[in-house]
Structure 1
Amino acid sequence: MSERLLAEVNGGDEVRTVTLNMRNVSLKEILAEIEKQAGVTFSYESSLLKEFQKTSFKVEDAALDDCLAQLFASYPLVYKRTGNIVVLKRKPRQVTISGFVRDKTSAESLVGASVYDVGSRLGIATNAFGFFSLTVPASDDPVRISVSYIGYENRKIDFPVLERDTMLTLFLQTNASIGEVVVTGNERSLRSPVHSVQMGALEVNQATIRATPTLLGESDIIRTLQLMPGVSMGTEGVSGLYVRGGNVDENLFLIDGNPVYQLNHLGGIFSAFNGEAIKSMDFYKAGFPARYGGRLSSVVDVQTKEGNMKEFHGSASVGLIAGNLSLEGPIIKDRTSFSIALRRTWLDVITAPTLAIFNAVKKDKSSDINFRYAFHDLNARIDHRVSDRSRLFVSIYNGNDVLKATSEDNPSRDGSISYYLDKTQVSMRWGNLVASAGWTYAFNNRLFGKIAGFYTRYNAKISYREEEKSWDYNNEAYSLSFDETVSASGINDFGVRTSFDYQPVSNHHIRFGGDYVRHDFRPEYSRFLTEEGDKPDSMQVSKVFSNEKLLAHELSAFAEDDWTLAPTLRLNAGVRLSLFNIDRKTYTGVEPRVSLRWLLGKDLSLKASYSRMNQYVHLISNSFLNLPTDSWMPVTRNLRPLVSDQYSLGAYYNWKDLDFSMEGYYKDSRNLLEYKDGHSLVPSSITWDRKLVAGKGCSYGLEWMVRRPVGRTTGWIGYSLAWSDRQFDELNGGRRFPSRYDNRHKLNIVVMHKLSKRVELSAAWTYTSGNYTTLSTESYEGLTPPSKDPFYNFRQEQFDLYGDRNNYRLPAYHRLDLGINIYRPKKKGRMGIWNVSVYNAYCRMNPFMIEKTDEYNPDERKSYPVFKQYSFLPIVPSITYTYKF
């Protein structure tokens, strides 16, 4: 053993260092040697060190505090140094309180409920299955746990003595009052923007979705998200999301953890999410947690309702164009429950008699007009409680759109000629099927896990056919059949997902897991058939333009740690590893994610985040509507994965019950896709991936928001100042051009007020800079070349001259939506709800598109180019009645 005591004086303060190299000695001997070298005295109970075995310890020229920290790191001891006295005490033992928070009436899990230890001021929020794990110091004194959730009565649980780990299920009672719900202090701060580490995140509950003014009486989470800063809606009336300059396919939509590829119904007027089936929704647009991946711009994570395990309940609603029915209840009381929600439009039911009357009274009897459109959504779920720790679940979503249009001509006769023409329908069908089955289990007080298998299918098909033309002439029969075109695309996914929540100590919340997905792509299928007549020399032509099928494998793993470094400093750091294999080509991605929160005061914080995202599938569209002509396509040898890096910085402040936030961001994207000039989804001899060109994009901006989440009057004001552009070497001469939805300014004001227990008012005003489009702003006259026809000569015509892509910004868009909910209590706890909404209350005719046409001047006998603006939705009132039982 060698020993040395060094004393140095630096600025008048003595810096004590210690050098030790002791082997197989007791802790008491090590302390005695430190006392000699450092000139300090250890104070402790005589029995404190008896239980520890002999050990070895080595330091060299270590400062006294560093030496003590290293020595006691492996012992259940804490020390406090005051001058030359070092007091040793046993480290307070910690215990873990874990379990589930559930609705008392239905036993349904409550997502995001706050569990808070009043004494230690430690707290945590429940996960997507209502599970929590809270580690607190063991104490001989009483311990009080507070549990809170908006819309529910707070509950306090007292433990007279807390000596060992405890697992329990906590039930909360719904707040019968529709009035103000007050959540104050640290209980609210657990989920407040100031104290959480997450940036660009938003939680939306069913009450907010229902209270927001609706279009045609249908509550919609996508329209609610469109009212948030940084989110553009795209086109008037369409349920699209364009987040921070991204495209519509850069958003990850999940139902119970499984992806949904086709988001919209009726060309985008309705989304695929049925509000009656939704329990909660989390939205992320920055600082993405490592557990999410596969898209560049945002995540919309929707959890559907678990069924009521105690009682049967349901609701039925009737709107202008759609109806909704939902039921839930126990299959086996307190063990197995079901929940089902069905939504269907009756546009086909409404239009059928109208068209029948029109066909009956119209003067032209030569043809009949037939039309049908319908969509439906089905959400179903079964949950089974194996034990307090273990649950099984099955979840299904199915949504389909069907459009058919037929026109049938009647036979006619002209002299000796009998003529007959028959045309069959145009048919379009598209939709999703998502099914999953899984198991959740609380392995112990600190570890919760989930494993699930899933299947996702998206199919879209368009077919068109003109069937038969026939006539009789001089007792000779002739017939002609021709033209059938079929186009289809789709994806089938099979996979398994695992995720685990682990909380070893109170300041670490670790999540880890992995996914495997097998993708079966049919990116483009097109078939054309022509068949002529019934004579020997009749011609038959059948050609398949493309029928490619692709198999891909996607594998990912993630780990993240939400770590409280200090009371003022909190970090969420993680990494996602992804692999995508297709056509003997493998792409790999390393996606680091980090978010940091610095608490400047109890009501003020700063945050910063960085995230890298990879995307391996793309939605290729040649329309701003969401139609079956849009196709999901994978990366290939020619098309590399989309990659984005996003940097965000923000400040957050709480004042009373108002949340203020300001976020700035910069997003750089690579390998974005566009059609080459002159190419589209129209079938051709060129393969689909050769029609596309890759480029890059840049988006940046500032977002401000003030929000009041609780009280009789709630709502928010949000403003965005944003830029977004694109650059492709093969497009626009290689010059940058603004993206279509580069909306420079966006302002939203949303107010919801509970006038009384039975009346709720809402208003939402939106203003945004216009979208970009490409217009010909100049024309020139030229001569068309002659054809082979000898009677066809040069002709003077006017041609359009186009400049840069997206060279014209449409006029600004703004509208006001109003709504009122009237609650009518019935007997036995039943409720009738009237919703009256007015979309675009002051009938602003916002531009849907602008077209350049020629207008003839009869006085000058000359045509002049003019621009015409087309609008889509005027003022649209709606009324819906919902009956809950």
Structure 2
Amino acid sequence: MNRYILCCLIVLFQWKSALTQQRSILNQKVHIKLAEGTVGSYLSTIIDQGISLSYSNDQIKLLRVVQIKPGTYIIKKLLEIILKDEQIQITDQENKILLHRPTNAKINKNILSGYVYLKNSREPIPYANINIVGTSISVSSNDYGFYSLELPDGKYVLKVSHIGYTSQLDSLKITSSFTHHFQLGSGITLTEIKVEKKDTRTWDGHTISPNTASSIPLLLGQADPLRTIQMYSGVSGGTSGSNMSVRGGSNDQNLVLLDGVPVYNYSHFGDLLSIFNNDAIKHISFYKGAFPSRYEGRLSSVIDVKMKEGNMEEFHGVANVGVITSSAMVEGPIVKHKVSFMSSIRRSWIDAITQVIDKDIDLKYYLYDANFKINYKIDSTTHLYLSTYLGSDRISLGFKESETPFLLQWGNALVSTRLNKVINNRLFYNTSMTFSRFTNKLITDIDNNSYNQISDLALNNEINYRWNNNVSSYWGVRFNDSKFKSRYQNDEEGSIQHTTQISIYSDNDISISDRLKLRAGLHLVTFLVKQKTYESFQPRSSLVFKVDGSNYFSASYAYMAQFYHQITQPGITIPNEFRAPSSANLPPEASSTYELSYRYIFPSDGNINIGIYSRNLRNILMSRPFQSLFDEPDENIAWQNRLLSGIGRSKGLEIDYNQKFNTINIQASYTLSKAESSFAQINNGQYFISPSDIRNQFNYSMTIDLSSRWQTSFLFTYRTGKRITVPSYNIPDLDEILENSQNPEEYQLYAEDIQNYKLKDNYSLNIGLAYTKLYHNSRRSHLRFGINNIIGRPAPIITTTSIEDNQIIVNQVDPFKFLPYVGYTYVF
């Protein structure tokens, strides 16, 4: 009997155990459609079918790629398959599946690092995006193409991409840390425009390709990369766009860098061209707000120009012939895969034409630019660069029957050496030494000449450390020694001023979540000049929120300080500026910039960005009305007393639109803005319209690929006319009581209000046509022709006032209208 009862109990227990097992959540079934995916994607599929899963992202290799035959699976069997080779325990607790790692189990963290290169060139590609397919994890290469990515053991599919290049997919099995380089092919067709904002990590700036400059209607057939920046909202420029005002700021408030070296004057005569040879440029980064902390010394914008480093594998070159200049660029290996070079030169031929037109007038004008760069790969982790630039403009005028000379000459000389070193798979080191010299010389007769010269010597050290996939930090220290030399008119002694500047800066890029990214930075400056020391605390921050794959919001704040001042004679575009450092009498200029923007990415190839901004400025300078620093020297009036120091403010609405429709590319921008200034000595300290104010501005560019060889382009611009100060009446200084009167019979001019005269609105329509012919061995030629200002009223080059019949007359010299051009380019 007892044996019978015991047998029944055993059967009952086994039946209950089987029933419990049958009802367990682990024995339920789910349907799988994916043949391949990450562990995380399969776990999400199980959850989507109503199964409750609990696990920690840190304990499971969610990025590991697995392959499963589609079908219906018991959950426990499915989990055992996708979690194979992982030390994960699977338990059922209160109708919930728990996935957890035993306390004694460890997970490997591997570092994948290396460079992103241009295929068939070995030039590093900065800001390339490296993404783990099927996840939201991605990192970007730094300024020199180096990347670092943290991954656990597993098999992954990586996608590497960059605007203007073909994307690359790579499947890697990772079981330890190692180095892996990616190579991207050039994805820009012969007629394609690529001017896009960067990915969310670097949304505070724009990346500009040199291909863009040759795709829009050119000024007299000359490709100018800075002309494309003028297409963005908030940016206005001169004839070529090189003498720029950004968000109501003055021209000197733009920081222009060539391979990390500051350029003080970046335009040729009358803003005809910028100093940058388009064929020698690798890319340009442009910022008008949310400035990274490594940039310093200007208030309105940053234009960071990087030159090509030279092809490590093949020889290539470009030759150009235009209406006013000709140029050539050659690059290639000196020692293949070890040492490369890039060299370019450009010169005008206007001086030869003027000699043919009129031999009685000794008018000579020429401009030239020369670039040279060497790239030496010391080993797999170390690169050494040497970069140089030399450029100048020279105008001389004389008459055969006169001995009175006239000479105006200005130019830049730049040298930089740079060493990059990968310390380990997380740490990147960069050090550089740079030298810059700008010289401006004016001679009007034998005994009367002026010059202005600035020399900079700088040493910079910077490290970039990637803590993990979500946090990357930059730290840097910079030392700068400057010398300002100047002499004006008959001032025989002139002046020399020395300054020393020490800067410390840090930037931290943080992915708070998949949707929220933060950049937090700080820049500290100590500026030493004779009998005065200035210290500046400059916080910088930007925030990007990703609503979904198409909608983004961003906000930013940046504080900037400028220890360099420039006063320009208004109404003239040729170099006539006075330059001086901050001193005890000239405190540094400063600005605070606030931005808020929204961006929408169209399902097709395009986007629209809408933003608002507000800027506050301190210690900005201007000349006293009707007094100039370029007047005859007066020993009773120091040049500092001819300047006024005040404050400024500006605000605006900016809209940028980009869209591609098959063979049509459209880029448009609109700006509604207001810039004002206030000086205690003028208008009782009330705000008045700033000289750089442009209330409305609209740009529209369209490029159409007519065929594989023909392309046509249109560029229309409209800007509200600027305001200038025009005298309302004049009074003869008969009794010599008016200040700074050199002649008792001179007239003294007076204005009832400042900025009281509005120039006419400006508009222009340019059209262009390009023909491309392909040859063997990837050689090609481009023939471009078109018409500048086919209709329109461009902004004047020179604006002056004169007295006729005791009336004030406004005179202006306008650019030529209806200017046809032709240009030829051969690429080999």
TM, length-normalised to structure 1 = 0.78
Name the counterpart of 1:172.
Answer: 184
Residues 761-792 of structure 1, C-alpha deviation per residue, up to 9 Å, x if partnerless?
2211111111111124x558x787489xxxxx
User: Which residue of the partner structure matches residue 343 of structure 1?
Assistant: 346
Q: What is the root-mean-square deviation in Å for CA atoms of aligned residues? A: 3.1
- State the partner residue of 1:112: 127
Distance 1:317 1:588, change over 3 A: same
C-alpha separation in 2, matches of 1:251 and 1:213: 25
- 1:254, distance to aligned residue in structure 2 (A): 0.4
| CA displacement, residues 692-723 of structure 1 (integer Å, 9 cap, x when unaligned) | 22100000011011113795322311111101
* Distance in 2, Cα, partners of 1:401 & 1:620: 20
Which of 538, 554, 557 is 1:591 aligned to? 538
CA distance in 1, matches of 2:655, 2:89: 45
Displacement of 1:751 in angstroms is 1.5
Q: CA deviation at 1:560?
A: 0.8
Q: Aligned partners of 1:80 and 1:492: how far apart in 2?
A: 72
316, 320, 323: which one pairs with 1:320?
323
Q: Distance in 2 between matches of 1:179 and 1:864?
A: 54
Find the aligned partners of 2:55 and 2:156 in 1 and give their Cα distance: 28
* Corresponding residue of 1:668: 616
Paired residue secondary structure (1:566):
coil
What secondary structure is seen at the aligned counterpart in 1 of 2:306?
Answer: strand
CA distance in 2, matches of 1:461, 1:260: 17
CA distance in 1, matches of 2:468, 2:90: 20
Change (3 A) 1:654 1:269: same
CA deviations 1:734-756 (Å, max 9, x no partner) are: 22211112111111111123222
| Deviation, structure 1 residue 568 | 1.5
Is the CA contact 1:526–1:546 (under 8 Å) kept in the aligned structure 2?
Answer: no
The equivalent residue for 2:781 is: 832
Could you tell me how far 1:820 is from its partner in structure 2? 2.2
Letter in 2 for 1:440: N
- The separation in 2 between residues aligned to 1:257 and 1:825, in whole angstroms, is 36
Q: State the one-letter code of the partner of 1:152.
A: Y
Instruction: Tell me what 2:403 maps to.
Output: 423
Structure 1 position 644 matched with structure 2 position 595? no
1:813 aligns with 2:805: no
1:195 corresponding residue in structure 2: 200
Q: Does 1:99 align with 2:114?
A: yes
Q: Is the 8 A contact 1:98 1:132 kept in 2?
A: yes
Give per-residue Cα distances to partners, 1:322-360, cap 9 Å, x unaligned. Answer: 00011111111111000011011111111122222xx3x
**Structure 1 portions without partners, runs of 5+:** 1-42, 49-75, 183-187, 360-368, 410-421, 466-482, 529-543, 788-794, 857-862
C-alpha distance in 1, partners of 2:661/2:284? 18
> CA 1:291–1:851 in structure 2 vs 1: closer, same or farther (change >3 Å)?
closer
Displacement after TM superposition at 1:652 (Å): 1.0
Q: Counterpart in 2 of 1:377?
A: 369
Deviation per CA, 1:578-613, whole angstroms, max 9, x where unpaired? 111010311111100010112222211211111100
Q: Which secondary structure does the structure 1 equivalent of 2:820 belong to? A: strand
How many angstroms apart in 1 are the aligned matches of 2:216 and 2:90?
56
| Aligned position for 1:274 | 277
Alignment of 1:218 onto 2:222: yes
**C-alpha displacement at 1:152, in angstroms?**
3.3
Q: What is the one-letter code of the residue matched to 2:582? A: V
Helix, strand or coil at the partner of 2:294 = coil
Distance in 2 (alpha carbons) for counterparts of 1:177 and 1:587: 51
Structure 2 contact 571–800 (Cα < 8 Å) conserved: no
Deviation at 1:867, TM superposition (A): 5.4
Contact 1:753 1:762 in 2 (8 A): yes
> Which residue number corresponds to residue 332 of structure 2?
329
Mapped to 2, the partners of 1:783 and 1:582 lie a distance apart of 42
User: How many angstroms apart in 1 are the aligned matches of 2:203 and 2:686?
Assistant: 36
Matched residues in 2 for 1:197 and 1:91: separation? 35
Query: Within the alignment, does 1:387 sit opposite 2:418 as a pair?
Result: no
Indicate the SS of the match to 1:439.
strand
Paired residues of 2:571 and 2:798 also in contact (CA < 8 A): no
Partner residue of 2:686 out of 699, 712, 735 = 735
Alignment match, 2:395: 403
The residue that corresponds to 1:126 in the other structure is: 141
Question: Structure 1 stretch 608-617 or stretch 684-693: which is displaced more?
Answer: 684-693
Contact 1:107 1:309 in 2 (8 A): yes
Q: How far off is 1:135 after superposition?
A: 2.1
1:753 aligns with 2:704: yes
| Distance in 2, Cα, partners of 1:79 & 1:268 | 71
CA contact (8 A) 1:817 1:838 kept: yes
User: 1:195 corresponds to which letter in structure 2?
Assistant: T
* Aligned-residue offset at 1:423: 0.6
Contact residue 343 and residue 372 of structure 2 kept, 8 A: yes
**Which digits, 9 at most, give the CA deviation of each residue in 1:242-284, with x for residues without a partner?**
1111111000000111111111111321111111111100100
**Gap regions ≥5 residues in structure 2:** 1-53, 60-86, 737-743
Q: Deviations over 1:11-66 (max 9, x none)?
A: xxxxxxxxxxxxxxxxxxxxxxxxxxxxxxxx999xx9xxxxxxxxxxxxxxxxxx
Match of 2:630 among 667, 676, 681: 681
Once the two structures are TM-superposed, the CA of residue 855 in structure 1 deviates from its matched residue by 6.4
Q: Is the 8 A contact 2:729 2:807 kept in 1?
A: no
- Residues 181, 699 of structure 1: alpha-carbon distance in 2 compared, 3 angstrom cutoff: closer
C-alpha contact 1:545 1:684 (8 A) present in aligned 2: no
Letter of the 2:442 counterpart: I
- Check 1:448–1:754 CA distance in 2 against 1; reply closer, same or farther (3 A cut): farther
How much has 1:688 moved relative to structure 2? 3.1
Structure with the bigger percentage of strand: 1
Work out the CA distance in 1 between the residues paired with 2:454 and 2:239: 29
Q: What residue identity is the alignment partner of 1:230?
A: G
The answer to whether residue 765 in structure 2 is matched with residue 822 in structure 1 is no
Partner of 2:826: 883
From the superposition, tell whether residues 590 and 864 of structure 1 become closer, same or farther in structure 2 (CA, over 3 Å): closer
Structure 2 equivalent of residue 606 of structure 1: 553
The Cα offsets for residues 552-583 of structure 1, whole Å up to 9 and x where unpaired, read as 11111111111010111110001011111010
- Cα distance in 1 for partners of 2:653, 2:92 equals 48
Q: From the superposition, tell whether residues 178 and 848 of structure 1 become closer, same or farther in structure 2 (CA, over 3 Å).
A: closer
Secondary structure in 2 aligned to 1:597? strand
Match for 2:470 among 507, 510, 515?
507
Distance in 1 between residues matched to 2:611 and 2:90, nearest whole Å: 42
Verify: 1:462 aligned to 2:424, yes or no: no
Match of 1:842 in 2: 791
Give the 3 Å change call, closer, same or farther, for CA 130–715 of structure 1 in structure 2.
farther
1:157 equivalent in structure 2: 170
Among 240, 254, 259, which residue is 1:256 paired with?
259
- Give the Å deviation of 1:450: 0.9
CA distance in 2, matches of 1:44, 1:774: 71
Could you tell me how far 1:224 is from its partner in structure 2? 1.2
> Which one of the candidate residues 229, 232, 235 is aligned to 1:228?
232
Report what 2:418 is aligned to. Answer: 438
CA distance in 1, matches of 2:807, 2:437: 50
Structure 1 contact 698–724 (Cα < 8 Å) conserved: yes
- Shift of residue 196 of structure 1? 3.9
Assess if the C-alpha contact under 8 Å between 1:492 and 1:520 holds in 2: yes
Q: Is the 8 A contact 1:704 1:720 kept in 2?
A: yes
- In structure 2, give the amino acid aligned to 1:116: N
Distance 2:584 2:747 in 1: 43
Question: What amino acid is aligned across from residue 793 of structure 2 in structure 1?
Answer: R
Q: Which residue of 1 aligns with 2:751?
A: 802
Q: CA offset at residue 684 of structure 1?
A: 3.1
Q: Aligned pair in 2 of structure 1 residues 219, 82: CA closer, same or farther (>3 Å)?
A: farther
Contact 2:226–2:241 (8 Å) recurs in 1: no
Which residue number corresponds to residue 35 of structure 2? none
- Matches of 2:441 and 2:701, distance apart in 1: 39
Cα distance change of structure 1 residues 845 and 625 upon mapping to structure 2, 3 Å threshold: closer
- Aligned with 2:291 (options 279, 288, 291): 288
The higher relative CO (CA closer than 8 Å, separation ≥ 6) is in 1
